[in-house]
A and B are shown apart, each in its own frame.
Chain A
């Protein structure tokens, strides 16, 4: 069961309130997305910790339901 981009974006925004997030549907099949998440709260955190913040925002959907979500985290310029 795929998730739609709006749902992913909403969850990430709720989980990381100050973030900017852009979702890209990589293949147009509703099952392969990329999420570009920029947030000041990533400051001082390792990539693993940053990605875990995104996983937590997705409330466990990151495993089977959301098979293919590439994640790119970054700090605000």
Chain B
């Protein structure tokens, strides 16, 4: 069962520059930490694929196993795990997230 989820994750993070595994969706985040991640990405004007882990229990656990990271949200840029909401906020405040996106050639408004 787990391979199916891992395969889907690999597909999602390779086909989309920026992927946010979150609780809820971009329009309706259902957790403060997920909401913070959405706000940061919106501030930067970055297009991202939001994946609502609340809709599928296997995805919710699968992404934690895949990344070896126990919490949601999880941000991926160009197939690489960037961090959870604390790291997203910290990097954003330090201008490092903007730099990372630029380095990876991800269009930000």
Contact = CB atoms under 8 A, between A and B. Distances in A.
Contacts of A72: 86, 90
Contacts of B68: 52
Interface residues of A, number: 12
Contacts, number: 30
Interface residues of B, number: 15
Contact of A62 (B33, B71, B81): B71
A7 B91 CA distance: 29
Interface of B: 32-33, 64, 68-71, 81, 83-87, 90-91
Interface of A: 47-48, 51-52, 55, 60, 62-63, 68, 70-72
